[in-house]
Amino acid sequence: MQNIGEKKHLLTAISELPQMTQDRMSALHELGIYRVSNLLKHLPTRYETHHGGMTIEAAKTILGDRDSSPELVTIETTIIKVSPGWRRGRKSKLEVAVEDETGRMHINWFNQPWVARALHPDMRIRIHGSLTMHKGVLQMNNPRWEEIDDEEPTATIEGDLRPVYRANEHISSSVIAKLISDVLDDALPEIDDHLTDEMLRELEMPKLADAYAMCHKPEEEAHAKEGRRRIAYDELLLLQLGVMMKRHHRRDTMHAPKLEWNNEIKKRIEARIPYTLTNSQQQVIEEIANDIMTSIPMNRLLQGDVGSGKTVVALHAMLMAVTCGAQAAMMAPTELLAEQHFQTISNLLKGSKVKTALLTSSLSGKDRKKLISKISEGDIDIVVGTHALLTDDVVFSNIAIAITDEQHRFGVQQRALLRNKSDDKHSIPHTLVMTATPIPRTLSLTIFGDLDVSTINGMPPGRSPITTRLVQPAQSNKVYQFMLELIHKGQQGYVVVPLVEETESGLKSAIAHAESLRTGFLQGATVGVVHGRMKSEEREKTMQEFREGQLDVLVATTVIEVGVDISNATMMIIEHADRFGLAQLHQLRGRVGRGTLPGVCALIASPTTEDALLRLETIVETTDGFRIAERDLEIRGPGELFGAKQSGIAPFKVARLPRDFKLLRLARRNAVKWIKQDPTLQHSPLLKSRLMHAHGEALGLGDVA
C-alpha cells in the first residue's frame, strides 16, 4: 500500500506497536509483515461464527443429542495430560486431555507433530473449533489454540463473525486480530484511493479504505465478500495495467525489421522440410508471416501439445528472416534442449547455404570469442543457445527474429533482450515464444496478456498413441520385464529418476539405478546415463549413442523433459512418479510414441498425498495437454503456474483463479481503456506509483514508464 504524502500510521514499523515482543516481531516478519500497512494487507483467510467464553458443560449443551455441530466454540481450559497417539510415516496423532471447572474433554491433533513440542500439563490454553461426541466423550479435532496470557484480553469482533488470519507456530490468529484491531481506526483514514468516485460507482465497488474495513470488521459475510472483491480487483488491475503498458510501448514506440513473405520464399522453405505440414501448422506459419511483414514487433505465443511439431514452425520463422538477409536466434532453457534443437535444425538445413551455430555456457575461451565475433559481423544466420545468448558481449549484426522455447522457464524481461549493433534503442527483433505446456485459458490473460496466441491443434500424421499405467513399486519387476521384451524386439526405452546421485532420502538416483539395472532387471541390455551435471561433450556423446541404437536404455533425470526426439524409443518408466509435477510428467511421457510404434509409459509410485494421487490419476486418464494444464491449475493454483520464481511476478494475495476469472476480464477491459487514454499513467501518479512498486521490476517497466 504505497502512498504519496505523509502516512504516519501506515508506515509505522511493527516494532513500535505496544506490547510487541521480539518473538512476535520475528513471527510477523516470517509472514511478510514489517509495517502497519503490511498488517492491513494481511486479510483474513475465513470467518467463523464465534461463541466465546464457553464452559465445557455449556458446550455439551450446544451439542445436544447431535453427533456434531456446525457451530464453532471457544473454551478456556487447563491441560491435564499430553499423550502421543500413533505415528505412521508422516501421519501422526496427538491426544490431549483438558478440563475446566465444569468438566473434562479430549482434543486430537492429526499430522501436526510440532504441537506436541509446545504443550505441557498445567498449561492454560484457549481452544477454538467444532465439537464432536465420541463414545460419550466431548472432543475437538485439530482446533486452533493459543496459550492464555492473563495480561492480554482476546480480540472479539462486533457482531457474530470472527476473522481468522494466516498465522504460524510463533503467533496465533487471535494475536494478529488484536494487533490489527488496535491500529485499524487510525490507519484506515490514511489509505488513498487510486480510483475516482465516478469509477467506483460504475464498478459498484467500495472505496479502498472501506474495503479493508469490510474485510477486517465485517458486519456480515456479504460485506467481507464485497471488500475482498474490491481488493482482488485492484490486484488484477495492476497486473493488467502493467501488461497493457508494456504492449502499448512495444507497438507504438518500438519497431522491428519489416520482412518479406511471398510464394517464392514459401516454396524455398518448404523444399527444406522432408514431410508435409499439417493444416494447423500451415495456419500458424501464416499468422507469424502476417506479423513479421509489418514493422510492429511481433510478440506471439506458439502453444501446442508435446510432439505437435512446434520446432519446424519455429524454423520457418527463422528462415523467413534468413531469406531476407537477417539473422535469427533460438533460446532454450537447458543445454540438452539447445543441443537437440541445433541438431534438428542442422539436419533439416544440411546442404544449404544457411550458417548455423550453437552457443551455450560450455563454450568458452577462444572458441566463444570467435563465435561471438562471427555473430556480430553477420557471418552466422541462425544461432541456437541457452541463457548464454543474453550476456552483454553477444551483439548481433542484424537480428530480426528471436525465439524463446519453454517460456515459463525464462523471466518475462528476457523475451526481447537480444539486440543489434545499431544505435537505434527502439529497434527490437520480432519475438516468438514457444511452449509445450499449454497456458490454461484462465491464466492466458495474466502475465501472458501481452502475447498474441497461436495454437497448433492435433499431431503430425504417423504419431502413435501412448498408453499410461500406474504401477505399485512391488510390481516393478513386471514393468522392467516388459521393457526387456521390447528391447529384444529392437526397441529402446527411458528410465527417469528424480536424483543424480544417491542420498538418504530413499529415492532412486540416475547413477546408482543404472548400475542396478545393468546387473538386475535389465541384465544383458546396454544402459547409459544422462543428467544435468555431466559435461556437455559427455552428455552429447551418450545421446548420440542412444540415437544410433548403441544404447538400449537411457537412465536420466528430467534433463530429457523436453526436446529429445528419438522415434525408436517406445517405453518410458518413471520411478517415484509422485515426486514429479503434472506438466513434467506429461512432458516426459511425450518422449515416447514419436514414431510409428505405440508408446508405453509406466508410472511407478505409491502416492501418499491427495495432490500426488490427483496428478497421477490425471496423467493416466488423458494425453490431452490442454486438459492437463487446466487440471494442473485446479490442483496447484496459479501461484506456481505463473512461474513466479522465474518471472519475478508476485503471486496474487487476494485474487484467486479460476474463481475470479470474470473479475480478471473486467480488469483487463478497463486496463485496455486506461492505457489507450494515458499510455504511461502520467495523469494517475498514485496508480502509477503502486503499479511500479508491484510489478515495475518484474515486467521491466522502467524504460516504458
The residue ranges of every structural domain in the chain are 49-164, 263-293+309-435, 466-622
Q: What is the pLDDT of residue 241?
A: 95
Strands (E), 60-134: 68-88, 91-100, 103-110, 124-134
- List 54's β-bridge partners, or say none: 75
Whether pLDDT at 648 is above 50? no
Q: What is the pLDDT of residue 131?
A: 84
What is the rounded distance in angstroms from the CA atom of residue 416 to the CA atom of residue 394? Answer: 13
Q: Percent of the chain beyond pLDDT 90?
A: 49
pLDDT at residue number 308:
82
Q: Give pTM, 2 decimals.
A: 0.73
Where does residue 486 rank: exposed (0-12), middle (13-18), buried (19+ CB within 10 A)? middle
pLDDT-derived band of residue 335, with 50, 70 and 90 as boundaries? Answer: confident
Residue 5 exposed, middle or buried by CB count within 10 Å (0-12, 13-18, 19+)? exposed
Higher local confidence (pLDDT), 191 or 136: 191
Handedness of CA 638, 641, 645, 648 (dihedral sign): negative
Do the beta carbons of residue 429 and residue 297 sit within 8 Å? yes
* The CATH number of the domain covering residues in 263-293+309-435: 3.40.50.300
C-beta of residue 162 within 8 angstroms of C-beta of residue 156: yes
Report the distance separating Cα 481 and Cα 353, nearest Å: 48
Amino acid at 87: R
**Cα four-point dihedral sign 659, 662, 668, 671:** negative
- Closest by CA to 138, choosing from 108, 163, 106, is 106
Cell 516470517, residue? 30
Is the pLDDT at 415 greater than 80, yes or no?
Answer: no
User: Using one digit for the tens of pLDDT, what is the confidence trace for 589-628?
Assistant: 988 888 788 899 999 998 888 888 999 999 999 988 888 8
Class of domain 466-622: alpha beta
* pLDDT greater at residue 304 or residue 571: 571
CB 306 within 8 A of CB 590: yes
**Residues with Cβ within 8 Å of residue 182, at least 6 apart in sequence:** 17, 18
Q: By mean pLDDT, which of 152-166, 254-268, 386-400, 502-516 is the weakest? A: 152-166
What pLDDT is recorded for position 79? 94
**Angle of the 582-589 helix axis to the 610-621 helix axis, nearest 10:** 30
pLDDT for 70 equals: 47
List, in order, residues 6 or more apart from 263 with CB less than 8 Å away: none
Where is pLDDT greater, at 389 or 49? 389
- At 276 the pLDDT is 85
Mean per-residue pLDDT, 224-232: 96
Query: Residue 126: what are its φ and ψ, rounded to 5°?
Result: -105, 120
Residue among 378, 415, 375, 414 nearest 393 (CA): 375
CB contact set of 229 (below 8 Å; sequence gap of 6+): 205, 663
Q: What is the mean pLDDT of the chain?
A: 86
C-alpha pair distances (Å), 218 with each of 52, 212, 558:
18, 10, 49
**Which of 469, 494, 468 minimizes the C-alpha distance to 483?**
494
Q: Which of 639, 493, 675, 460 is nearest to 572 (CA)?
A: 493
pLDDT tens column, 430-472: 999 888 777 776 677 676 777 888 989 877 776 777 899 999 9
Average pLDDT over residues 666-689: 95
Model confidence at 584, in pLDDT bands (50, 70, 90)? confident
Residue 271 has pLDDT above 90, yes or no: no
The side-by-side arrangement of strands in the sheet containing 430-435 is 356-359, 382-385, 327-331, 399-405, 430-435, 299-304, 452-456
pLDDT at 646 > cutoff 60: no
- Same CATH topology for 263-293+309-435 and 466-622? yes
Q: Is 484 helix (H, G, I), strand (E, B) or coil?
A: helix
CATH architecture designation of domain 49-164: Beta Barrel (2.40)
Nearest to 1 by CA among 696, 683, 686, 682: 686
pLDDT number for residue 150: 64
DSSP structure string for 627-675:
HHHHHHHHHH-HHHHTTHHHH-PPPPSS--TTTTHHHHHHHHHHHHHHH
pLDDT beyond 80 at 525 = yes
**pLDDT digits 0-9 by tens, 467-483:** 999 999 999 999 999 99
